[in-house]
A = this chain, B = another copy of it.
Amino acid sequence: MVNYFSSDFKLGILGGGQLGKMMLYETRKYDIQTLVLDPSSEAPSRISCDYFEQGDLMEYETVLQFGRKADVLTFEIESINIEALKQLESEGVKTYPSAATLEKIQNKAVQKEFYEQHNLPTAAFKRFPNLELLKSDVNEQKVSLPFVWKSATGGYDGKGVSVIRTEADLANLPDAECIAENLVPFKNELAVIVARNPSGEVRTYPVVEMEFHPTANQVEYVICPARIDNNVAEKARKLAENVSEAFEHVGLLAVEMFQTEDDKILINEVAPRPHNSGHYSIEASYTNQFEQQIRAILDLPLGKTDSKVGGIMVNLVGDENHEGEVLYKNIERIMGMEGVTPHIYGKKITRPFRKMGHVTIVNKDLGEARKIAEEVKNSIQVISKK
């Protein structure tokens, strides 16, 4: 067994955003040495690591040289140089999740084909190497409207995804490899985080539910546990576990799913890392997702994934009318509400819709938490200083 605690062991983390920052609370708790690579000198993870390096995550040589300093390497963002990861693996640097898994996930077309090959349920789709071929298929009615367009690469936080209802909608799409996916009517958007360590121990977190704004098409609350039937929840957890097994995944895998009108569960997409849908776990779970990620990639026993209390997460995104040095208006007011904890990621500049932090509301009574979450949402504003 490797001695990780207060030792010379070094964990390398590619990416220094908020996910890395929250992971560092856990490496500090365990006194595990960390190295962080991020393109920005202002990255939220520049503090709390043992060594910070500024560099491009897509640059082969930068990632290679950085990775050689680590005993185990992980990442908190998918956009990293895969070839460098592969080279590092061949040199004996343990990389979790693996380069092979990341490669399948990085490209959404490859990811979807992977589900098909493994008989894992997902919405039907067709793959296109470029926009031109998609357009001609639509024109020839080989692809029928409406459908969901997804860019094969580079999409996150809702970017790179569009619902195409008319041929005119095609005009604004970028020319890139993409898929056209059937538009499936669904009752709920759900997510399950699966943890798996190299020894094959697997644990799933409870199913969470995304509650959307009644009119704007935007997630307002992530709610744990999801307010769904137990048998549907069991089905979702089992499916997420199967996805993790199929990828032979090591570390956390966040599996986003649709619950259809007839209670089928379809995989939407996965993220091979701690995930926005698991932030509630810091306050609500026996083992939060960031500690679980550390346990998983270091082949330590996985922690209990149950919740102590109900949890709701609200994202703090920059107000659409503000850009500049950030001010969290009314943060004192929400801190006076019961069971409310803000998390401030440490980005100095707010921009419209930029993810600046999140707020967790915990309560033994989930309905009560839901009411308080609404008060939180109606009170706090992420604006810029005058």
Residue numbers in B under 8 Å from A148 (CB-CB) = none
Residue numbers in B under 8 Å from A3 (CB-CB) = 327-328, 385
Q: How far is the CA of A326 from the CA of B308 in the complex (A)?
A: 33
Does residue A235 face the partner (Cβ distance < 8 Å to B)? no
CB<8 Å pairs between A and B, sample of 23: A1-B332, A3-B328, A5-B326, A5-B328, A5-B331, A5-B342, A6-B344, A6-B346, A6-B348, A21-B28, A24-B28, A25-B25, A25-B28, A25-B29, A28-B48, A28-B346, A31-B344, A47-B48, A47-B50, A295-B335, A300-B335, A301-B332, A304-B339
- Please give the distance in Å from A48's CB to the nearest CB on chain B: 4
Q: How far is the CA of A328 from the CA of B287 in the complex (A)?
A: 20
Interface set, chain A 309-332, CB cutoff 8 A to B: 309, 326-328, 331-332
Residue numbers in B under 8 Å from A44 (CB-CB) = 31
Q: Given A308-B362, A335-B300, A362-B308, does the pair A344, B5 have CB atoms closer than 8 Å? A: yes
Contacts A31-B44, A31-B346, A47-B48 known; 18 new A-B pairs at CB < 8 A: A3-B327, A3-B328, A5-B328, A5-B344, A6-B347, A25-B29, A29-B341, A47-B47, A47-B49, A287-B341, A291-B341, A300-B332, A300-B335, A303-B335, A303-B341, A304-B338, A304-B339, A308-B308
Does residue A343 face the partner (Cβ distance < 8 Å to B)? yes
Does residue A30 face the partner (Cβ distance < 8 Å to B)? yes
Residue numbers in B under 8 Å from A286 (CB-CB) = 339, 362
- Please give the distance in Å from A203's CB to the nearest CB on chain B: 12
Does residue A115 face the partner (Cβ distance < 8 Å to B)? no
Residue numbers in B under 8 Å from A5 (CB-CB) = 326, 328, 331, 342, 344
Does residue A345 face the partner (Cβ distance < 8 Å to B)? yes
Does residue A367 face the partner (Cβ distance < 8 Å to B)? no
Residue numbers in B under 8 Å from A49 (CB-CB) = 47
Indicate how many identical chains form the complex. Answer: 2
Q: How far is the CA of A335 from the CA of B346 in the complex (A)?
A: 31
Does residue A214 face the partner (Cβ distance < 8 Å to B)? no
Residue numbers in B under 8 Å from A328 (CB-CB) = 3, 5-6
Residue numbers in B under 8 Å from A28 (CB-CB) = 21, 24-25, 47-48, 346
Q: How far is the CA of A46 from the CA of B180 in the complex (A)?
A: 52
- Please give the distance in Å from A256's CB to the nearest CB on chain B: 26
Q: How far is the CA of A184 from the CA of B250 in the complex (A)?
A: 57
Residue numbers in B under 8 Å from A48 (CB-CB) = 24, 28, 47-48
Does residue A158 face the partner (Cβ distance < 8 Å to B)? no
Does residue A185 face the partner (Cβ distance < 8 Å to B)? no
Residue numbers in B under 8 Å from A309 (CB-CB) = 308
Q: How far is the CA of A47 from the CA of B35 in the complex (A)?
A: 13
- Please give the distance in Å from A365's CB to the nearest CB on chain B: 13
- Give A338's nearest chain B residue, CB to CB: B304
Shortest beta-carbon contacts, A-B, top 9: A301-B336, A31-B346, A31-B344, A308-B308, A48-B48, A5-B344, A301-B335, A308-B309, A25-B25
- Give A308's nearest chain B residue, CB to CB: B308
Residue numbers in B under 8 Å from A346 (CB-CB) = 6, 28, 31
Residue numbers in B under 8 Å from A385 (CB-CB) = 3
Residue numbers in B under 8 Å from A348 (CB-CB) = 6
- Give A330's nearest chain B residue, CB to CB: B1
Q: How far is the CA of A1 from the CA of B345 in the complex (A)?
A: 21
Q: How far is the CA of A142 from the CA of B214 in the complex (A)?
A: 79
Residue numbers in B under 8 Å from A287 (CB-CB) = 341
- Give A25's nearest chain B residue, CB to CB: B25
Whether A29 lies near B344 (C-beta < 8 A) is yes
Q: Given A25-B29, A343-B29, A346-B31, does the pair A6, B326 have CB atoms closer than 8 Å? A: yes
